[in-house]
Each structure stands twice: as structure tokens, then as C-alpha cells.
Amino acid sequence: MATIILAAVLGAALAPWVPPVTPGEQQTHAIDPDVHRREVEAWQKARDARLRSDSGWLTLVGLYWLQAGPNRFGAAADNQLVLPAGSPAHAGTLRLEAGKVSVELTSGVAATVAGQPITAAALKSDAGGAEPDVLTLGAVTLQIIERQGRLAVRVKDKNSAVRRAFKGMTYYPTDPRYRVVARFTPHAQPRAISVPSVLGHAEDLPSPGTVTFELDGKTYRLDPVIETPGDTQLFFIFRDQTAGKTTYGAGRFLYAELPKDLTRPGALVLDFNKAYTPPCAFTAYATCPLPPSQNRVATSIQAGERFDPNAPHPGAH
């Protein structure tokens, strides 16, 4: 027992001291409650529009990992990539060679890339945070994504059953208490953290520092990541004690503006009223990251997007 106590004392002594957010920083980041409420309502409206859009997560209906060589696609069951009903039975072939993907359409099949009709073309993936090419066949689109060095085809359908049945998200009442001014502390050296995913593998993502914040007199810590190079926001993947009860069981996502200087400690705003449900709640074909173990918060953050764990969602993991 004495050894355990000594270890705990030494651990506390060795933990880096994080200066609290000063009254001046609190004042600098303060916001009028009515302005804050309108800001959150505008965010909720924009979130709903993104979900319902032609390219939103509610349209995602397929994810196919490409094999080297030809990969036939179309609505017929004998294709390697089976598209939704209403698509051409044998629309064409996607060819993977030397890490590059090209498409060749079957004669008579109409499709476009960037609004331009094509019969054959190279297709750029989203590797490195790039904007992927989108191959459009009527209501259906295909795009190439790269995950852990593997290439896959993401299929979206504007007429998906999930999109048609969507009735909108529900939210906790906007609460200024959950708009917290937090402390960003940069890492002394560049660091990456391991982020697991629903695919069963982990990805190392750059994390510029740690963020500490207070709720109800207790201090909590989260490790954000930079999702793609050049991002202007910190990405938080976290899970709190509402998960599986009133919010999505796997966790939630939240973004915050990057501090002006990533090399120095500073204050930033974490507005949990804008915490939202990952796309894997709506579709089984998303490649969602999951919260790292250090981002499991031992309190109930009753703010942001709610989720009924008993509702029939096709992507529930």
C-alpha cells in the first residue's frame, strides 16, 4: 500500500503544472448569452443542412475495398462493386494499378467527373487530405478514399432510404455553462497520438498539444488532433458518461479554433453545445475515428447533439 501511495504522490509531483485560465482570458472569450444561443442555433441549422445535402452522410450506401487490377461496378449482382438499383447493370470498370485508380465506362453509359462527361479517366483519391474526384452516374456517386495505405470506393445515393427517412437531430438545450474557456498547452516536441477507428485499425495523427478545462470545479483533459494538413481547427474525438444513454455510444466529435500561436500556452473556447454525432451512427459504411483512451471524460457533458441508442440506425457499431 505504501508503494502505491508513494507512486501516486510521485506521479502527481511529476505531472506538468498547467496554469489556470486567467480572469482576463475569460473576459476576452466571453459572449452574450443571447448571441451565444443564436450562434448555436445557426450551427445546428447548418449541421442539419450538411446531413440532408446531396453529398451528406445520409446518402452513403456502400464502401468497397479495391483489388489490384479490374473491379467491375454496376447494379447487377455479378459485379465486384454492386451499385443501388436503378444504376446501369454493368456500368464499367475501376482499375487499380501501382496505387492509382482509373475508370472505364461501358459503351452507352453516361457519367461525369466535375460536371464533364467522360468515357474513361484517372480518379484522384482523398490521400493526404486532397479533395477526391467524384464520378457521377445519375443519383449515384463514387469517390476513391485512402485509409492506411489501402484504396476503397465510397458510394453515395441521393435517393437513399436513410436520407428519405431522416427526421432531424435532437439537442440538449443550449447551456452557456458548457461553453468553456480552456487552456491549450503545446507539446515540447512534435507528437502524434494513436487514434483507433471502426475499421479495427489505428492511425497516428499529429497532436499539437493538450487542452484542459474545468466543469463543476473539476479539471479534465483532452488531446486534440490536426485532421488534415493546413486545418485551421483542432479536432476533438471524445466520449463522456452520456455515451450510450443520451448520446451516441461510441463518442462524439467537436471542433475548436486553433490557437494563434501553437508554440505557446493560451486560451481557447470549447463549446460542447456544438458536440455532434459521428457519421457511423447513420451508416455502416463510414470510417469513423474513435476516442483515444485519454479522451474518455469521467463526467456527463449534457450539451450538444443527442442520440437515442434504441433507435434503429443501420450504422450502429
Q: What is the DSSP string of 89-141?
A: TT-EEEEEETTEEEEEEPTT---EETTEE-SEEEE-B-GGGPPPPEEEETTEE
Q: What pLDDT is attached to residue 147? A: 92
Question: What's the grid cell of residue 154?
Answer: 465510397
| DSSP sequence for 152-192 | EEEEEETT-HHHHH----EEPPP-GGGEEEEEEEE-SS--E
Residues 105-127 as b/e (b if ≥16 CB within 10 A, e otherwise) read: bbeebebebeeeebeebebbbbe
Tell whether the model's pLDDT for residue 79 goes beyond 80: yes
pLDDT tens-digit series, residues 202-260: 999 999 999 999 999 999 999 999 998 889 999 999 999 999 999 999 999 999 999 88
Element (H, E) at 34: helix 33-52
Confidence of residue 311 (pLDDT cuts 50, 70, 90): low
Residue type present at position 309: P
Distance between CA atoms of residues 271 and 256, nearest Å:
8
The predicted model gives 177-195 an average pLDDT of: 95
How confident is the model over 104-116, as a mean pLDDT? 97
Q: 88-101: per-residue pLDDT in tens? A: 999 999 999 999 99
Domains along the chain with CATH numbers = 57-165 (2.60.200.20), 168-306 (no CATH)
pLDDT score recorded for residue 123: 98
For residues 277-292, average pLDDT: 95
Percent of the chain whose predicted confidence (pLDDT) is above 90: 82
For residues 301 and 167, the answer to whether their CB atoms sit within 8 Å is no
